[in-house]
Structure formats: structure tokens, C-alpha cells
Amino acid sequence: MFLRILWKLLGASRGRLAVALIALTSGAAVCSALLNVNLDAERKLTQEFRTLGANVVIAPPAGGNEAALADAAVLDRVAALHISQIVATAPYLYVAANSGTQPVILAGTWFDQVAKMNSWWKLEGGWVSSRDDHEHCLVGFTAARQLGLAPGSSVQLRSGDRNISLTVAGIVTSGGAEDNQILTNLDSAQALAGLSGRVSLVQVSVAGTPAEIEGVTRKLAGNLPGLDVRPVRQIAAAEGTILGRIRGLIFWTIALILILSMLGVLASMAALAMERRRDVGLMKALGGSVQHIMRLFLFEAATLGAVGGVVGFLIGVVLARWMGERIFGVAISARLEVLPITIALTIGVALAGAFPLRLLGRVRPAEILRGE
Amino acid sequence: MSPLVQVEQLDKRFGEVRALDHVSFEVEAGEWIAIMGPSGSGKTTLINILGGLDHPSAGRVVVDGLEIGNLGERELTRYRADKIGFVFQQFHLVPYLTALENVMLAQYFHSITDEKEAAQALCRVGLSDRLSHVPAELSGGEQQRVAIARALINQPKLILADEPTGNLDETNEAIVLKLLHDLHDAGHTILVVTHSQAIGNLADRRVELEHGRLARISAPSLAKD
């Protein structure tokens, strides 16, 4: 009988309940979309962050007057660890060289790895695409201006009694130290310095949350004794702050949306409560306890919440995909764990919005039956 | 054997207005009592107190051994479900439930529902072909018969009817009165609030109120069939 009455109640008040259901479904859809985005956004954002430069540096411990160097075999040891979060690993050998009378830093690296972790660099001219290209270099924007270099120019570099001749493929603007450097392939720099098999440091780009980055750092440090492995704190902290702010924004937006949904439900239920005063008075006169009657109304609200939650979740998945494509340029996949959260939140909102119906428990049957 | 209903020095005030003023009477089990009097004399107030819908301001009301004035809200709800069957002038059926479901609603609040028993109750009041009709699809007389079936479904100790024929035409009034008569013959205790002399004449006794006071208790002057 309970379900029979519940069904009839839903049918009898379908107009008002439809308004409440629309409010609940809308709220659930936005919550579901934001929760899906939140769960996926972290992964997407950390992937995006990986194009903003290295966040872990492996370097030999500093000591003495000579710049410390590491064995290039460290690159093989890092690769052998098969750490999935590592997006790119770029070795750097810095060589103090001269171009004519002008001193300049030559940085030898792997351009394919540099490209992965510095996609935001501005480039005028071409990129050096192969590790075997020993003829081309990239020149930092400031260095190019000082040395009067442009794409296609030749530059002669000297270090000690060794010389190297390179053609400028492109001018890069990084906003960092690279703007003052000439970058070429690692082999070329090692040959000029006479430091075959040596690197000054290795930059590593690790995807993940600040905690995951710390984990990778610890793993690398444990496997690379004698080397300093340290996260680039500013970048890790900045990433953490951005993720935290996005999470906060999503949380408060969800809270606001749920409050607005609840107000919508509240308005509908207040009108419904006025309509049901007579029925409640009658039910109480017939011996219906407040618990009996409230159970009906709360189940009715919970049913609305559950339906609104499921429908809202489905709409939210579509919305999340659209938001993902617009914001991150990738489709955000539906997370099933969002479904129970959305349903629970929507049922909670429906029950809170059903507050006016709870006040019907105070109805005095004698007054209602008198027509007051 | 103690009477089913004992009303002693019953007072009810609404602010400054004294709706009932030291009313006392008793009702034996199986009696049909007509409560009569002009409008505003306190008839509905009296029946509301007897039905546990309102609280007395002073005095004692005992129904089937329970002193109603001492009952809390929960106990009063249980009292209404267990011991009272209401029939109202306005019928007061739930508009979105069928005739059958309206009867089952009283069963639901009392204990458990029994669809077959509810259908039989409606058959007894001549509505076997109206089980699945909602109140809007029933005539006034049919609605009142549904209300009577609902009042009887839990075998209450006391049937309280407030102007049960007040909104009915002559034909339907006759049908409802016949039903009340049959209930009385079957041993039910009935208290009917009425302005109708005809109904008053059918009762075993008439309790007449004036300005909230008990004016007289009398047996009808006309013989009943």
C-alpha cells in the first residue's frame, strides 16, 4: 500500500513535482559534469603542466671549483627504471665557449626531449629534429641579438683549442636561461668540450600530482646513489596551488549549484505543502501517524532525488565531454564513481528541499476538517 | 458493565468562547445517539473531542476505558486508528486514490491492508462496481458510502458521523440512513451529529445542546421501525 500511495502521490502532484525534478536534474547534471571534470582534470592538467618545463633535476653534488659532471650513463639508468610518470628526460652539458671574442654558453642536449617538455618556447626559424644532426643549433633570443645571428647564419664556437661550426636553425625565446645560450646536440657539445660521455645535469619532466612527483623523486634518488635528485620546488608548488584552486572552485560551484537546486525544490514543495494540508489533516484523522505520513513524503522526495540524480548524471556526462573538449581539447571519460555521489547529493538536496512538507506534521486535523 | 462513552463535566474553550460548558452524558455500547442543536451549539466540537481530534479544556471523556484527555499526540493517533470510524459531511476522501484505496488507507494506518476485505466493505455499501473510481467520478451519495465503508473497515468501537447526509439529496440520504440503521442493528455504537429531525427520530436517544450546554437528553417521540 505504501508504494501504491506513493505512486498516486507522484501522479497527483506531477506538475509541481516536475518543477522540482527539473531543478534537481539540472543541479545533478552540473554536479555530475563538474565531478567528472574534477576527477579527470587533475590528470589532464598534470599532462598540460608537463609542457611547462622540467620539474625534477638530476645533478652531481656540487663541490670544489670545477663544475661537477655526471656520467651520461645516468640516462640509461633512468630509462631502465621504466617509470611511467616520466614524460621526458633531457640531458644538458654546459660548455663555456667563445664566438669570436664574445663569451657564450653552449648547451648540449636532446632536442626531441626538450621539445616535449618546453612546447611553449617561441621559435623563429626551424627546430633541430634529430639527435644525429651535428650541424645545426638553436640560439637564444638575447644571445642571437648580441652575436648578430639569425636563422641560416653560421656561428663558430671555440672552447680551449677545439672549434665547432654550426648553422643557426632557429632563434628561441624561453623567458629563461636558454635565451642567453646556444643549444646544440649533446654529442657536439661533448666533442667541443672534450667531455665525451659527460653531462652537467639531467632535466626530468614527471606527470602527476605533487605527491606523485615526490614519489618519483624518491625512487630516482634511491636508484641513483651519488647524485642529487631534487624537485623544482617552485614548479611543483605552483602546480599544487593551481590544482588546489581548481578543486576549490569546483567544490564551491557544486555547493552553490546544490543550494540553488534546493531553493527550486523548496519553492515547489512549499506550494505542494499548501495543497496537501487537507489530505494530511484527513490522514491524521484516520489514524495516520506523523511518521507514517512523513515517510510517504520523504520517500517521494527521495524518489525524485534518485530519478533526478540518474538523469542528471547522464546529462552531466555529456556536459563533461563538451567541457573537456572546450577547455582541455580532449574528451573527458565518464567516471562511474560519480553516479552514486551524484545520486546521494541529489537525494540530500531533495530531502532538504522537502522541508515544507515536514511542517505538515504539525497540521491539526480538527482545523483542517473544519475547513480552516 | 460500564458505559462505552462517559462524558463528565466537559468544557472546551476557544479563547474567550466557551464551546462546551459542563456537558455530561453516557453512551452504552450498541446505542445510536443523535447529537442535535442549532449551529454553534458545540455539536462538532463535542464529536471532535470524542474522536480524539481536539483536546478538552476541562472535564473527563472516557471511551472504552481510555481517558482521552490524558492521551498524548501519538496515543491519540493510535486511538483514532483503533477505536474510531469517522464519517464527515464533506466526505473527505483522498481525491487521487480510488474508492478501494481510500478504504485501504484506513487499513494501512490501522495495521495491514487487505484488498479483498476492503472490496467486500465497498460491496456491503453497494459499490461493488465502483472500486476503481476516484472520488471525482462518484456521486455525493457514493462518496459518502465510500466514507462509511472506510469508517467500518477496522471494526471501530465508535462510529462518529458529522452531518453525514448534510450534502446529499433525498435518495442518497435514504441510502445512507439505511446503512446507518443496518450498522446499528448489527450492534455498532453510533453518534451522529445532525440537524435532521428524521435522523434524530431514528436514534435511540437524542443529546441536545444549546450554547455549549446540555439542554436535554431524550428518546425520540416517534417509534422506530
**pLDDT, tens digit (0-9, with 9 covering 90-100), for A158-211:** 998 899 999 999 999 988 888 999 999 999 999 999 988 889 999 998 887 777
Residues B41, B212: Cα–Cα separation, whole Å: 5
Residue with the bigger pLDDT between B171 and B30: it is: B30
Q: Does A7 touch chain B (CB under 8 A)?
A: no
Q: Which residue of A has its CA nearest to B151?
A: A286
**Which distant-in-sequence residues (6+ apart) come within 8 Å of A365 by Cβ?**
A281, A282, A284, A285, B53
Say what the pLDDT of residue B225 is.
43
Residues B170, B3: Cα–Cα separation, whole Å: 34
Q: Which of B44, B53, B73 shows the shortest C-beta gap to A285?
A: B53
CB contacts of B95 in chain A (<8 Å) are: 12, 279
Residues B5, B51: Cα–Cα separation, whole Å: 11
CA distance A328 to chain B (A): 51
Say what the pLDDT of residue A101 is.
87
CB contacts of B110 in chain A (<8 Å) are: 287
Question: What number is the average pLDDT over the span B147-173?
Answer: 87
**pLDDT, tens digit (0-9, with 9 covering 90-100), for B185-220:** 888 899 999 988 888 888 999 999 999 999 989 887
Count how many Cα atoms sit within 13 Å of the Cα of residue A134 in the half-sphere of its side chain: 10
Phi, psi of B91 (to 5 degrees): 70, -50
Say what the pLDDT of residue A36 is.
86
ipTM metric: 0.88
| Count of residues making up chain B | 225
Q: From the candidates B86, B103, B148, which should be mutated to test the interface with A, based on the most A CB atoms within 10 A?
A: B86
Look at the pTM and tell me if it is higher than 0.90: no
CB contacts of A284 in chain B (<8 Å) are: 77, 80
* b/e sequence A96-134, b meaning 16+ C-beta within 10 Å: ebebeeeebbbbbbbbebbbbbbeebeeebeebeeeebe
Say whether pLDDT at B58 is over 90. yes
Q: Does A329 touch chain B (CB under 8 A)?
A: no
B96/A11 touch (CB, cutoff 8 Å), yes or no: yes
Smallest Cα–Cα separation from B220: which of B210, B211, B212, B208? B208
Question: How would you list the strands of the sheet with B84-87, edge to edge?
Answer: B84-87, B158-162, B189-193, B32-36, B205-210, B213-218
Say whether pLDDT at B35 is over 70. yes
Q: Could you tell me what percent of chain B has a pLDDT over 70? A: 97
Residues of chain A falling short of pLDDT 50: 65
| A238-252, B38-52, B74-88, B139-153, range with the lowest pLDDT | A238-252
| Average pLDDT over chain B, rounded to an integer | 89
CA distance A347 to chain B (A): 25
Say what the pLDDT of residue A29 is.
94
Say what the pLDDT of residue A341 is.
93
Smallest Cα–Cα separation from B147: which of B171, B178, B179, B115? B179
Bridge partners, residue A124, by sequence: A171
Highest mean pLDDT among A243-252, B147-156, B163-172: B147-156
Binning chain B into helix, strand and coil, the percentages to the nearest 5 are 35, 25, 35
